[in-house]
Structure 1
Amino acid sequence: MQDVRSLNFAGPYRYTSRGTGVFHFPLARPWTWALTHHGMWNVFVHDHEPARQGMPARRHPLHPPPELMGCWLAIYATREYDADAVDWLRKGHDLEAPGASVLPARAYVAMARLAEVSTLGNDYRSFGADPWWKPAGVSSRGTVAWWLEELQVFEPLEAPEAPRLAPLDPELLPELRERVRMARDGIWRPEQYVLQRPPPPPPPEAPPPRPKPTPAPPARRELPADDSPVPPMGPVEQLGLFGGGS
């Protein structure tokens, strides 16, 4: 496998002859669903370099070997389910991907011809003509895209995992060709998944009513002081209060 850093990025390169070989191409779900049901026609392939002392884990985008151009890729749905892809598909294409329990796994689900390889910087499709490359609102999934043509979805064919881009097991080829033929003739049709969008988040709770302010007591009014002299008291009849009287 060629490393992307060793290649000249003068521009995209395209197949010049149709190959007849069929090669194992693993792809995590739900990317397989986007490819088979929603018009995705480019994939991004990376080699992963594990972390080591002083260096974080990294991934390197790859170009395929030249002899692979024009050949068939047997798209294999792996057991992995890419949770980040769910968010990317929702934001970039308004697609709600089926869950892992719904989509087929460890099975071949489609065939496609590897037609072209290009980089983000030199491909005309990166400037808005193809929404799968870099839709508005989300980041690009990579810098080196493998473009697929003549995609044919067929009834999933369960099979064990294999190394990436290994030639397809010859014992599987007759069954795979038969399933491709049945799909092309319309005898088999892709399963349609009923997509249910997650319920919208509940509206935020209304803030509790603010307590009514306690009314302030009325202001106390002080009477003005009367400092005038008090006249002397005159004679008062005791009215028998002290035993006197007539």
Structure 2
Amino acid sequence: MIEIVAVPAFSDNYIWLAVDRDRRVAAVVDPGDAEPVEAALEAAGLELTAILITHHHHDHTGGVQALAGSHGVPVYGPADESIPGRTHALREGERFDVPGVGMALQVLEVPGHTAGHIALVGDGLVFAGDTLFAGGCGRIFEGTPEQMFSSLKKLSELPDDTLVYAGHEYTLANLRFALKADPDNAAVAERLRRVETAREQDRPTLPSRMADERATNPFLRAHEPALRASAERWADAVLDEPVAVFAALRRWKDQG
């Protein structure tokens, strides 16, 4: 059975280890820094077998070369981005077995945050990188609102019980914005209370469940009348399509 372990890095990143404790092996997802990964592997007596990358930003790839060099492992990453040391270029729909850990993953192309961003889906989970966060979504740096909207729709269609492993601990700020954009949503208010308690106790808020994202994440709910009305008030404009509502919500969040 595969266990997913969070390795905190920098101020708010999560590096994820997919661990098979029986075999004493692990694969690492988005290692922005090699040092905490090496420490986690040594503490648990694990051998690294693979590196998986969702996108090219340095806080997700900065440790790749050091880890690949010291462990001699393959590096899987998006085909349309420059990933240091990549040995396996991944494209939409491709399926592969993660070496050593017995996990099968499928590739979803989810551009928007970056042009070639991918998500990795399998075993009831998704490594979403910086596309989908708990209660939010990534900033649009290289893509378009239309691309990000489409990418989030693709992810939101995963089953209710899918566990979302995102790249950052942004949940508290995301849900505070969600409540601002959708103040009458009791599910958002209740989730925010739970997250405030978790963070006060220094507990991670990830993974989240896809069902909770569909119920409380405003960026997955741009089709709903309450979000449209709120976005129109903020933008002082008529927003005829859900993608326009989404784009307004993203600009609103960006501006604080």
Q: TM-score range by the shorter chain?
A: under 0.3
- Structure ID, larger Rg: 1
TM-score by length of 1: 0.26
More RCO (CA 8 Å, sep 6+): 1
